[in-house]
Amino acid sequence: MSFDNVALHRITWLLTGMVAVFFVVWLTPPLLALRGVDIMPLPLHNAVETFAIVITMMVFGLAWNAYGADRPGNTLIIACGFFAVGMVDFAHMLSFNGMPDFVTPNGSEKAIQFWLSGSFLTALTLLVVALRSWQPLAKPQARYGLLAGSLAITVIIYWLVLFHEQDWPHTFIEGEGLTPFKIDAELFIAALFLVSAVLFYRQAQQPLAPFRAFDSANLFAAAVILILNELCFTLYSAMGDIFNLLGHLYKIAAYVFIYRAVFVESVREPYQRLRREIEERKLAEQNLEESRAQLRGMTARREEAREEERKYIAREVHDELGQILTGLQLNVSVITHKFAADSPALSEHLLETMTLTNSALDATRNIASALRPAALDMGIVSALEWLAGRFGTNTGIRCEVHIAETEIELDENHAVALFRIVQESLTNVARHAKADKIDITLFREGEVYVLKVRDNGAGFDSDVKKENSFGLVGIRERALLLAGTVFINSSSGYGTEIVVRIPVNNKSRTL
């Protein structure tokens, strides 16, 4: 059930009460006896009209200032329409009997002419809003055209009533009451309100759409109450009798509902939409974070499986292939010992074979070490010292390891991750840094292990995002799998320092 549909059920009870009040006044003899009796003094009439005018100006100010190019133009139509209504109601109040003459002599006919003009403008405004699709204006500048149009209509009404009052049909005869023209005019306006009420009621029962009236229920209520207002003004026989007073009270109630509708459309609904968007964004961010966590878990499991596979392959290469090559080496040695002395040519071939066998054995050891260094089985300290020594030998870059504590207690997953981080860092230095010295530091700081890899190479601007920097991405991902953080401090010409901080008691993320 939509917001408007729920509001419609609540409003129906209020409308039922207002209709009941109308019939009670109309059908109850003691109250009906007040028809033709002036019970609304001038100060009360002025107070009621002033309140109604203030509401129309609030409707205009709120809708006009809250309008945006992406907002439905219907609220702007209400704003400009009610600006004209408020100005005409102001003239009606100033033209009432007992008020100082407003430009021309005041009288009942003059006040009623302004009243009918304002009521017709209200009915026309609501009908246009009900018929128009709730879409933005084709051109945002059109709002000024609407305002100019409402001002022009106001000026025309003022001119027609003030200077051509005699050209209007008679609407009220003192001592007799309303004329047929006045009654027919009020009923015609009531019919316009009835059409608007039906349209707003149908809108309120439809599902909400991006540019549909958000609060059609309040507009429906306003149209129904204005029908009661018009009916009251077909029944009075004195300018201040009970039906005239009741009609003015209905008018205020209807204007309040219109203000509520504009307030919902212009203020409350955007905030509610913003709140929904914020909630949707939070949900999307939560889903994204969950997806990232799952992805990291999958990455952790993949890395764990990869390390196990490396360990297995390294062991197989080292043990199986190493044993075969060692056996081949022994066989070549035996053959050389027995037969090489009698055949110089055979001795030369056996020497070449021994050389190839030794090279194959060295290659086997290197492959096994590259897949899974045996030093890792002796702890992270031994592994880092072995890695630094081998890196220095292969590249000629001096690499020193500084361990602040001889006992660094890391489980296998943490040790492997830190080893691979250092390995990737050294690879980056060899490829890009043009350094001649690297310092690797590992120490414990409270409940955090801190690993630093610093070189004295060319460095880079860490604020500039580099494409294809997969090495640094891999370092960050490995640290995240251990709930750690990575800081990269670098500047052109001053080398680079990678700082990795990993909680001591953290367990690596796995699925």
Tens digits of pLDDT across the chain (511 residues): 444 566 777 888 889 999 999 998 888 877 777 777 788 889 999 999 999 999 999 999 988 887 777 778 888 899 999 999 999 999 999 999 889 999 999 988 999 999 999 999 999 999 999 998 888 888 878 889 999 999 999 999 999 999 998 899 998 887 777 899 999 999 999 999 999 999 999 888 876 554 444 578 889 999 999 999 999 999 888 878 888 899 999 999 999 999 988 887 666 666 666 777 888 888 888 888 888 777 766 766 776 666 667 666 766 666 677 677 777 778 878 777 777 667 777 777 777 888 888 887 777 767 766 666 666 677 788 888 888 888 888 888 889 888 866 567 777 778 888 888 888 888 888 888 788 889 998 888 888 888 889 998 888 776 656 555 666 777 887 788 778 888 888 877 778 889 999 888 755 444 3
Q: Is 361 exposed, middle or buried (0-12, 13-18, 19+ CB in 10 A)?
A: middle
Q: Are 262 and 60 in contact (CB under 8 A)?
A: no
Q: Is 66 exposed, middle or buried (0-12, 13-18, 19+ CB in 10 A)?
A: middle
Question: What Cα–Cα distance (Å) separates residue 43 from each residue in 93, 102, 103, 388?
Answer: 11, 17, 21, 98
Q: Which residues of 452-465 are buried (b: 16+ CB within 10 A; e: fewer)?
A: bbbbbbebbeeeee
Query: How confident is the model at residue 213, as a pLDDT?
Result: 45
How many Å from the N-terminal Cα to the C-terminal Cα in the chain?
A: 42
pTM above 0.95, yes or no: no
Specify the 3-state DSSP secondary structure of 339. helix
Partners of residue 161 on adjacent β-strands: none
**61 vs 106: CA distance, rounded Å:** 30
Cα angle, residue 75 at apex, residues 114 and 139 outer, rounded to 5°? 110
**112 vs 238: CA distance, rounded Å:** 12
Domains and CATH numbers, the chain: 3-28+48-283 (1.20.1070), 374-503 (3.30.565.10)
Tokens 């309120």 belong to residue: 204
Contacts of 140 (CB under 8 A, 6+ apart): 69
